[in-house]
C-alpha cells in the first residue's frame, strides 16, 4: 500500500475532475454513486461505482478503476468534500445514493436553522414530479462545518426564500465567492473584501 497521502496519489486530480460538475458543460459526465441496497439486502460496507452513459438512453454502473481511486474517494467523503445526497432506484436492481462534490450540492435552511439538501424537479417529461428535500445527518457533519467556514469567509450567503412544490418554504444557500459576489451586487450590496482562504502547503486543493 502506498505511503502517500490521498491528494499525493497520481489519480487525485482526475478523480476531482470527474466528481466535480459545477460550470462544466458537455455530454453526460460520470456520476458517483454508492450502492445502498442490493437485492433487498442492506450492504455492510459502502460500495462506490461510477454511473456512465451506456447509449440508447440507458445508463450503467461500473466499478472504480483502481484501489487508489477508492482511497481518494474515501478521503474526500470523510472530509465532507464529496457529499451523499439523493437515493434513487437503479432499474429495480438496487438502490443507489448519489455522491456529489460539495460545490455541486444545493444547500438550504429549512424550519429555522436546520440545514438540508434540496433538488428541484426540472424534468419537462415529468412536470408533476415533486421537488426533493434531503435531511442531513452525521454523514454531513464535516460538509456543514465547511459550509459554516464559508459563511465566515464571505463565500456563502443566504438567498431569497423559495417555495417547493410541496408548499414548504426553504432558504437556499449560495456558495462560491464569485456566485456570492454576483448575488450581492444584484441586491445592491458592496461587501468589504475578505481574505481568501489559504490552504496549508501539506493540504490538497478541492
pLDDT tens sequence across 98-142: 999 999 999 999 988 899 999 999 878 888 889 999 999 999 999
First to last CA, the chain: 24
pLDDT at 143: 96
Q: Which of 127, 177, 186 is nearest to 153 (CA)?
A: 177
**What backbone torsions phi and psi does residue 161 show, to the nearest 5 degrees?**
-60, 150
Q: Which of 143, 13, 146, 148 is nearest to 84 (CA)?
A: 143
Cell of 191: 461587501
Q: Rounded to 10 degrees, what is the CA torsion of 165, 167, 168, 170?
A: 60
pLDDT at 178: 87
Model confidence at 162, pLDDT cuts 50, 70, 90, reads very high
pTM (2 decimals)? 0.82
Q: What is the spatial distance between Cα 95 and Cα 38, in angstroms, rounded to a whole number?
A: 7
Say yes or no to pLDDT of 176 above 50: yes
pLDDT-wise least confident of 147-161, 163-177, 189-203: 189-203
Residues 6+ apart with CB under 8 A from 166: 130, 131, 133
Residues 6+ apart with CB under 8 A from 154: 177, 180, 191, 193, 194
Amino acid at each position: 500500500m502506498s505511503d502517500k497521502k490521498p491528494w499525493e496519489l497520481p489519480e487525485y486530480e482526475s478523480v476531482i475532475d470527474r466528481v466535480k460538475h459545477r460550470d462544466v458543460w458537455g455530454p453526460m459526465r460520470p456520476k458517483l454513486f454508492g450502492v445502498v441496497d442490493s437485492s433487498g439486502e442492506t450492504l455492510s460496507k459502502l460500495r462506490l461505482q461510477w454511473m456512465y452513459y451506456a447509449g440508447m438512453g440507458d445508463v450503467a454502473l461500473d466499478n472504480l478503476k483502481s484501489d487508489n481511486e477508492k482511497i481518494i474517494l474515501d478521503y474526500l467523503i470523510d472530509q465532507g468534500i464529496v457529499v451523499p445526497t439523493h437515493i434513487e432506484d437503479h432499474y429495480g436492481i438496487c438502490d443507489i445514493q448519489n455522491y456529489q462534490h460539495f460545490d455541486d450540492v444545493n444547500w438550504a435552511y429549512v424550519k429555522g436553522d436546520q440545514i438540508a439538501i434540496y433538488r428541484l424537479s426540472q424534468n419537462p417529461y415529468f412536470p408533476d414530479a415533486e421537488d426533493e428535500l434531503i435531511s442531513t445527518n452525521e454523514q454531513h457533519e464535516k460538509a456543514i462545518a465547511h459550509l459554516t467556514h464559508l459563511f465566515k469567509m464571505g463565500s456563502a450567503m443566504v438567498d431569497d426564500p423559495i417555495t417547493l412544490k410541496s408548499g414548504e418554504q426553504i432558504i437556499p444557500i449560495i456558495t462560491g465567492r464569485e456566485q456570492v459576489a454576483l448575488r450581492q451586487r444584484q441586491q445592491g450590496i458592496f461587501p468589504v473584501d475578505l481574505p481568501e482562504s489559504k490552504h496549508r502547503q501539506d493540504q490538497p486543493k478541492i
